[in-house]
Amino acid sequence: MKVTFKVSGLKELDAALAKLPQAYAKNILRKAWAEAAAPLVADIKANAPVDTGALRDSIKVDRLGGERASEAKMQVGVFGEFHGHFQEFGTIRQRARPFVRPAIDRHAAGVVERFRSQVAASIERARASIAARAARKAGA
C-alpha cells in the first residue's frame, strides 16, 4: 500500500531546476520530497496499529527515480510488510483500521506546498553555492 504524489504546474521551478547541474537538481528534489512528506509519514506511523512494531517501522518515503533531470518520483507507504493493506482495508474476519488514507486526507495539500517552498529555497541555495564556487575558481 503506497501513495504516489504527482505535482504538476510548477513550470517556473522546473525551468530553474533545468538550469542547474543534474546532480543538484536530483538532490534538491529528493530532499524536498523527504522533508515535505515527513509530517505525513509521522502521522501514518503515529496511527498505525502496533503489535510488534514492524508495520510502523516499515512506513517510509521511497524514491522511484525520474525520467528527466528535473524529475524525482517518490512514494510514501508501507514497504516490506504484506499485512498493511489488511489493517487499512480489513478482511472478511477483521474490521478495517485505516491509518494511511486518513493521514493523506489531512496532509496532502501541505505536502505539495512544503515541497514547492523547499524546492524554491533549495534552488536559491544551489545558485549561491555555484556562484561562490565559480568565484573561488576565478580568484584562485
Q: Which residue has the higher pLDDT, 129 or 64?
A: 129
- Residue 32's nearest CA partner among 3, 7, 59 is 7
Neighbours of 119 (CB within 10 A): 25
Q: What is the pLDDT of residues 81-131, one digit of tens each?
A: 778 888 889 999 999 999 989 998 999 888 888 988 898 899 899 888 888
Q: Show me where the domains of the chain are located.
A: 16-132
Ordered strands of the 73-78 beta sheet: 2-4, 73-78, 59-65
Q: Which range, of 29-33, 77-81, 110-114, averages the lowest pLDDT?
A: 77-81
Question: Nearest 5 degrees, angle CA 114-CA 31-CA 126?
Answer: 95
DSSP state of 2: E
Tell me what pLDDT residue 75 has: 78
Q: pTM for the complete prediction?
A: 0.76
Tell me what pLDDT residue 43 has: 94
